[in-house]
Amino acid sequence: MSEAVEQGYEPGDIAIIGISCRFPGAPNKMQYWENLLRGREGISFYTKDEIEVDEAIINNPAYVRATGALDGYDQFDPAVFGIGDRMAAAMTPENRVFLEASWEALEDASYDPERVRGEVGVYASANPQSAALYSSPPDWVSVGPEVIDRSNAWLPDTITSNVLYYLGLTGEAVTVTAVCSGFHYAVHLACQSLLLGQTDMAIAGGVMVRLPQRRGYLWEEGRILSHDGHCRPFDAKGTGSVLASGVAALVLKPLGQAVADRDHIYATIKGTAINNNGVSAMAYGLAQPERLSACIAGAMQAGDVAPDTVSMYEANGFGMPVTDSLEVRAAHLAFGKQSGTCSIGSVKGNIGHAGVVAGGSGAVKAALALYNRSLPPTINLTEINEELDFPSTPFFPQLELADWEPECGIRRAGVTAIGGGGYNAHLVLEEPPRTAERPIEDRRPRIITLSALDDAGLARQRTALSTWCAENPDARLDDMAFSLNLGRKALPSRWAAVVSTRDELRDALSGEGGGGRVFTSGRKGRVNLARFRRTDDGIALNSSDETRDVLALSELAVAWVEGERVNFDLLHAGERSHRIPLPNYPFAHRRFWRADW
C-alpha cells in the first residue's frame, strides 16, 4: 500500500501542482487572483479609431465596442524554445501563447523538462477559427519542409505536440475540440490517462486568442452577448456576456505521487464528468437541466463526494436570465434540497467569456480559492434575479470577499462548463492535503542557482527573486534551493550563490556584501573537475559530508556557472525540502505577426 493511501488519500485523486494563466487584465496567476479578490473587471472599451473592423459596422447603433483583450497576444520569445524567427512568425498566436503557458506551468510546479523522467501527456483545447483568421492554411500542392513547418505552426491539432517537441518531452498529445467546454474536456482526458497509468504527469489546458483583438460585437436582443459590454451573472438585468481571450495550463499528477515527490499542491481534483445533451427539448446549444444535472452528479459520484460537502459552485454563469436559470435548476437537481450551504459565483463578470478556455478561468479561480481559503466576490451582481429563487436552492450568491469556513470542515468546489452543441462538463476540486510539520530549517550553506539566455534576462531573474523573497518572508531557504536547482532549465548565462541565510541571499541578489559567495558565468578554467565524481546525470560531490562544506559547494557552484552539468538530485538526496512556486522565467517578448511565405 502506498504512503498516500495510508495517509487517507484516495487512489483516484489528482493533484494540481502547477498553474499558469493569462486573462484580460491579468498577465499571470498572481494578478488574476488579486483582480478576483478586489472585484476588478478586465473588459476593455475602445474608441472607434481603435476598432479593427469595417467602419460601417462600427457606426451601427447596436455595435458594442468592448472585449476581454489579452495583452501581448502577438508577442513571443522564440529563442527560449530554440525556434527561429521565421517559424515563430508562422506559428499562430494560440500555438505561441500555449507553449509559453506550458513552460510557465512546469516552472510553477518546479520541474525542469530536461530532468522529467517518464511520460508527460499534453491535452488542450484551442479555437480553430483563430488559425484561419491569422493566416491562410498551408498549401499542400507540395510537401516540402516549408509546407510541413507551416502546417505544424498553423494547425490547431499540433498545439499539444508542439509543447512536447519544443520542451523536450515525450508522452501523449491530444488537441480537444469541445467548443466552450474544451478546457474541462482536456482536464477530464488528462485525469483518465493518469489514472490508467498511461502517463506519469500531464499538462492540461486551453487557449483562446480572438482575432482581431481590438474588436466589439453587434448586440442582438435575446442573444448571448451583453447589451453594454458588462457581464452580470445571476442579475435580473443581465443581457449576456462579452467575448474574451485567455490561456490556462495546469500540471497534474496522481495525488499520492505528488505527496511522495514533495510537490507543491494547489488543489486536488476529486472527480470529473462529461456528457452531451443529444436530442433535447431545449434549443440546440442551451443547457438541458436533466443532462447537465447528471453531469454534475456524475463528477461528485466519481470522486465519492457528498453534495452537502461542496461549499463553492463556480458556475458557467453566462449572465442571461434564461441560461442562468437553466444552470441553477440543473445544479439544484444534482445537489439536492439543502438550502444556503454553497456559495455560487461566476468569473465571467470579471473577464467575460473566454470560449474554449472559459472553464479554465473558473477552474483556476476555484483552485486558488481552495489554496487561499477565500471566496472571491461575483462582480456586476447588483439586483439578484428573483426568478432564480436562490432561497429554495443550496446556493447563495457570493457578493463580497469572504473567508472560506465551511460547516462540513472540508473545502470543496464544483466548476461547470457548458459548450454550444450540448456539451456539458464538471470538475470537483478539494483543498490540498495538509503538509506534515517539519523541523525548523537548520543554518547550513546551500547553492542557489539562476540562469537565462543572456545577462539582461539574468538580471531580471535576480530582481524577480529578490522581490519574491521580500514578499514571502516565511519561505524556507532549503525549499528555494531545491526548487531552483531541480526545477529550472539550465541556460547559458548563469548565476549562483552559496548562502546560509535569507539575508545572505538578499545581499547576494542585490550585489551587496554579506557573507555569501556569488559566482557568475564567463570565468573559465578555475575549477579542478577531478575533485568531483562523475555520474550519469552530471558531476557530484564525493560524500554527503561535503554538502555542508562551503568550499566544496562553492567549487560545485563555479563548475555549474561555467557550464558543467551538476547532479542536483544527489546534492538534495535525503532532504525533506519541498517544491515551491517561484518567479517564472522573464520572457524577452518581441512581436511576431504573419509570416511572409
Which of the four pLDDT bands, split at 50, 70 and 90, describes residue 340?
confident
Q: What percent of the chain has pLDDT over 90?
A: 80
474-479 long-range CB contacts below 8 Å, 24 or more apart? Answer: 475/502, 475/580, 476/441, 476/577, 477/441, 477/446, 477/448, 477/501, 477/502, 477/505, 478/441, 478/446, 478/575, 478/577, 479/577, 479/578, 479/579, 479/580
DSSP secondary structure string for all residues of 194-250: HHTTS-SEEEEEEEE--SSSS--EE--TTSSB-SSS---TTBTT---B-BB-EEEEE
- 237: its cell numbers: 438585468
465-472 long-range CB contacts below 8 Å, 24 or more apart? Answer: 465/509, 465/582, 465/583, 466/506, 466/509, 466/510, 467/583, 468/582, 468/583, 469/502, 469/505, 469/506, 469/509, 470/506
Question: Is the distance from CB of 93 to CB of 130 less than 8 angstroms?
Answer: yes
Q: What is the pTM for the complete model shown?
A: 0.95
Same-domain check for residues 450 and 523: yes
Question: Is the distance from CB of 505 to CB of 497 less than 8 angstroms?
Answer: yes
SS3 102: helix
Angstrom CA distances, 213 to 256, 479, 485, stand at 42, 40, 39
Higher pLDDT, 311 or 522: 311
Last residue of one domain, picked from the residues 396, 430, 464: 430
Instruction: State how far the Cα of 227 lies from the Cα of 217, in Å rounded to an integer.
Output: 10
Question: Is the distance from CB of 546 to CB of 553 less than 8 angstroms?
Answer: yes
As a whole number, mean pLDDT of residues 336-360 equals 94
Q: Could you read off the pLDDT of 405-419 as tens digits, one per residue?
A: 999 999 999 999 999
pLDDT computed for residue 504 by the predictor: 94
Segments forming the whole domain that contains residue 533: 446-572
Same-domain check for residues 394 and 527: no
Q: Could you read off the pLDDT of 196-243 as tens digits, one per residue?
A: 999 999 999 999 999 999 999 999 998 899 999 999 999 999 999 999
Q: Is the pLDDT confidence value at 80 over 50?
A: yes
Same-domain check for residues 403 and 539: no
Residue type, 109: A
pLDDT computed for residue 8 by the predictor: 61
Q: Is the pLDDT confidence value at 67 over 80?
A: yes
Q: Could you read off the pLDDT of 366-400 as tens digits, one per residue?
A: 999 999 999 999 999 999 999 999 999 999 999 99
pLDDT computed for residue 128 by the predictor: 83
Same-domain check for residues 228 and 188: yes
Which of the four pLDDT bands, split at 50, 70 and 90, describes residue 524?
low
593: in domain? no
Same-domain check for residues 290 and 351: yes
Instruction: State how far the Cα of 458 lies from the Cα of 488, in Å rounded to an integer.
Output: 13
Q: Could you read off the pLDDT of 285-313 as tens digits, one per residue?
A: 778 999 999 999 999 999 999 999 999 99
Angstrom CA distances, 571 to 41, 430, 553, stand at 46, 34, 10
pLDDT computed for residue 9 by the predictor: 78
Question: Is the distance from CB of 103 to CB of 114 less than 8 angstroms?
Answer: no
Same-domain check for residues 122 and 231: yes
589: in domain? no
Same-domain check for residues 421 and 525: no
- Number of separate domains in the chain: 2
Same-domain check for residues 336 and 304: yes
Contacts of 53 (CB under 8 A, 6+ apart): 212, 215, 216
Bridging pattern class, strands 517-520 and 493-499: antiparallel
Angstrom CA distances, 138 to 46, 90, 146, 149, stand at 33, 10, 9, 9
2: in domain? no
pLDDT computed for residue 2 by the predictor: 37
As a whole number, mean pLDDT of residues 256-265 equals 96
Same-domain check for residues 530 and 413: no
Q: Is the pLDDT confidence value at 1 over 50?
A: no
- Lowest average pLDDT, out of 54-63, 94-103, 584-593, goes to 54-63
Which of the four pLDDT bands, split at 50, 70 and 90, describes residue 514?
low
Distance, C-alpha 498 to centroid of its chain: 32
pLDDT computed for residue 64 by the predictor: 96
As a whole number, mean pLDDT of residues 44-64 equals 89
Instruction: State how far the Cα of 101 lies from the Cα of 29, in Å rounded to an integer.
Output: 11
Instruction: State how far the Cα of 21 lies from the Cα of 177, in Å rounded to an integer.
Output: 20
- 61: its cell numbers: 447603433
Question: Is the distance from CB of 346 to CB of 313 less than 8 angstroms?
Answer: no
Same-domain check for residues 413 and 469: no
Distance, C-alpha 436 to centroid of its chain: 26
Q: Could you read off the pLDDT of 421-459 as tens digits, one per residue?
A: 999 999 999 999 988 888 888 889 999 999 999 999 999
Residue type, 473: P
Question: Is the distance from CB of 293 to CB of 307 less than 8 angstroms?
Answer: no
Q: Rounded to a whole number, what is the distance in angstroms from the first to the last CA of the chain? A: 58
Instruction: State how far the Cα of 346 lies from the Cα of 358, in Å rounded to an integer.
Output: 10
pLDDT computed for residue 132 by the predictor: 84
154: in domain? yes
Same-domain check for residues 412 and 460: no
Q: Domain with 470 in it: what CATH number?
A: 3.30.70.3290
438: in domain? no
Q: Domain with 301 in it: what CATH number?
A: 3.40.47.10
Q: What percent of the chain has pLDDT over 70?
A: 96
CB burial of residue 220 (10 Å; 0-12, 13-18, 19+):
exposed
Which of the four pLDDT bands, split at 50, 70 and 90, describes residue 594?
confident
pLDDT computed for residue 236 by the predictor: 97
Angstrom CA distances, 589 to 76, 88, 246, 586, 595, stand at 5, 12, 17, 9, 17
As a whole number, mean pLDDT of residues 244-262 equals 97
560: in domain? yes
313: in domain? yes
pLDDT computed for residue 513 by the predictor: 65
Q: What is the mean pLDDT of the chain?
A: 93
Same-domain check for residues 478 and 413: no
Q: Could you read off the pLDDT of 125-139 as tens digits, one per residue?
A: 998 888 888 888 877
pLDDT computed for residue 6 by the predictor: 40
SS3 379: coil
559: in domain? yes
Q: Could you read off the pLDDT of 17-35 as tens digits, one per residue?
A: 999 999 999 999 999 999 9
Bridging pattern class, strands 312-314 and 342-345: parallel
pLDDT computed for residue 4 by the predictor: 43
As a whole number, mean pLDDT of residues 522-528 equals 68
